[in-house]
Amino acid sequence: MRKKWFWFLYLSFGVVAHQSVVAQTGIAPQVKGAIKQSFQASRELKIKSLEVDKTVLEADGVRAKKLPHVDATGLYGFVYTNGSLDIPTLTIPILNVGLFEGASAFTMRTQAAYAGVSVKQVLFSGLQIPNGEKALQEKSKAQALLMESGKEGMAKELIAAFDQLMLLGEVDKLIADSEKRLSKEQEKVNKAIMNGLAIPYDRDKLKLALLELEAKKVEVEGNRDLLVKKIRQETALSEEEVREVQYELVAILLAEVPTDVQDRKELQALQASSRAYDYLYKKEKGAALPMLFAFGSANYLNVFDTHLSLKNRPLVGDVDLSNNHLKGRPNLMVGIGAKWDIFNGGEHKSKVKQVQADQAINTLKLQDTEEKLNLLLEKNKVGYAVSNQKLHVGEQQIKVAENNLRLASKQYQAGLIDVTELLAAENDWYKVNLGYYGHVMEQRLTAIELLHGTGKLLQTIYE
């Protein structure tokens, strides 16, 4: 009999350790606040958010390529060079002498200063810029949707932890009720032993059952401490704030059973990725077209302190020339240019094929994910219906167990049954009540899985 009692108590903590619990209408405002706090404290979500921001900035950078690019340049330098100069021969008829005949070696040194502003703007990029920008925008949407999906997973874990705390509270109540009844029976047995109407065996059986309850109290508190630490780690709440959370562990009855998975964040992320690959394909195809751009510039040029020496010229020998400066101010230029990569070693063709492969992979993932999510939805709908029926059966079992316990207590007091039979009735009552809360946990789980499976869980949390 002692082993049976111990087994039933152990079963209760098996439920605590293995049930995943979430809630919709049963989510207390404090729990919703803790979930939102966990979103703020999560390093993983912060990293994902920064990745989204990074992609948005990349899209901004691509869009900036459509705007005029203005740059200014200023420089000063000293030039020294040796070379040869050959210009057309000029003949002087009177003297019959040819000037500048043949090539002349020269040496030149000069100083130069330059300052200018230039403007360049893309007029046509083969649609690479707009398509590249749209591809990055869709990529950022996909990343944001995956981040929302991660939030749903975090929310489920936190609600499970808080529900387990509430379940431990219910276990506390069950233990307290059993302890109260058994203590009363023990007092009666002690009086009966003193009057010679009972034997010590009955007293020892009751005492053993009470000691096992004490051991389970310690185990409950240990499990509670672990849950509190887990919640604190996820939410950055204080221990006192976590322990103050209290709500009733009740079933979740959905007003409408969800029927599709189109709001599921993972599915929407794959759809956004599909659009991103479409734009990326158009971008790579556009790379085969020429790029047109307009340009303009205004600059100042001053070549000064120039010395030019021509060697061994006929008649005159060496000639030394110099100037104070040669200035151009301003030098203006405007026009339209084109750039066209005619052959790049097959790089363009390879990139187009890579994008096509990525498109095919993403399409298969989308089809597979949608099929699996629809199958999971059907499974959850069946599980939700079954759990509601089991919950109804559990309510009936509690009524029967309570009636049997009252009857056994009266029969024991009347001497019609022994203490072993009384403890058996007590065990049955405990087992049935524990099983009922197991049904509640299962019902809450299937209800929340329906919400999660259709992408409506976060909407419930933010309500």
Domain boundaries, the chain: 2-66+127-290+347-461, 70-124+291-339
What is the topology classification, in CATH, of domain 2-66+127-290+347-461? Outer membrane efflux proteins (OEP) (1.20.1600)
Q: Which residues contact 385 (CB under 8 A, 6 or more apart)?
A: none
pLDDT score recorded for residue 446: 86
Residue whose C-alpha is closest to residue 76's, from 114, 109, 108: 114
Q: Which two tokens stand for residue 248?
A: 């009733």
Q: Report the alpha-carbon distance of residue 32 to residue 400 in Å, rounded.
A: 37
pLDDT score recorded for residue 462: 83
If you search the block for the tokens 């001497």, which residue do you land on?
415
pLDDT score recorded for residue 415: 75
Q: Report the alpha-carbon distance of residue 231 to residue 34 in Å, rounded.
A: 9
Whether 445 and 421 have beta carbons less than 8 Å apart is answered as: no
pTM passes above 0.85: no
Residue whose C-alpha is closest to residue 5's, from 211, 173, 221, 166: 211
pLDDT score recorded for residue 313: 61
Q: Report the alpha-carbon distance of residue 328 to residue 29 in Å, rounded.
A: 76
- Work out the angle between the directed axes of helices 2-18 and 419-453 (0-180°, nearest 10): 10
pLDDT score recorded for residue 109: 86
Per-residue pLDDT tens digits for 402-425: 888 888 888 877 778 777 787 888
Q: Which two tokens stand for residue 393?
A: 């059966």
Cα separations in angstroms, 459 against 25, 32, 155, 207: 12, 11, 12, 51
Q: Report the alpha-carbon distance of residue 148 to residue 45 in Å, rounded.
A: 9
Helix (H, G, I), strand (E, B) or coil at 100: coil
Q: Which residues contact 58 (CB under 8 A, 6 or more apart)?
A: 136
Split the chain (463 residues) into runs of 10 and give each run's mean pLDDT.
Answer: 38 36 58 88 91 91 86 88 70 61 74 88 83 91 92 86 87 83 70 61 74 86 91 88 88 81 90 93 84 84 77 63 76 83 76 90 93 91 91 90 87 77 81 86 85 85 81
Beta-bridge mates of residue 303: 112, 326
